[in-house]
Amino acid sequence: MKSVVFYASRKGNTRLVAEAIAEGLRASGSTEVVSVDDGPASIDEGTDLIAVGGPTEGHRMTEAVVRFLDSISSVGAGRAAAAFDTRVNWPRLLSGAAADGIAKRLQTIGARLVVPPESFIVSTKPELLPGELERARAWGASLADHVRHESLTATRAAG
Query: pLDDT tens digits, the chain, 159 residues: what are they?
Result: 999 999 999 999 999 999 999 999 999 999 999 999 997 777 888 899 999 999 999 999 999 999 999 988 767 778 999 999 999 988 788 899 999 999 999 999 889 999 999 999 999 898 999 999 999 999 999 999 999 877 666 656 666
83: which strand partners? Answer: 52
Longest dimension (CA), the chain: 54
In the chain, domain spans: 3-158
CATH code reported for the domain at 3-158: 3.40.50.360
Spatial distance between the Cα atoms of 64 and 151, rounded to a whole number of angstroms: 32
Burial class (CB in 10 A: 0-12, 13-18, 19+), 111: buried
Q: Read off the DSSP letter of residue 129.
A: P
Task: Give the pTM.
Answer: 0.93
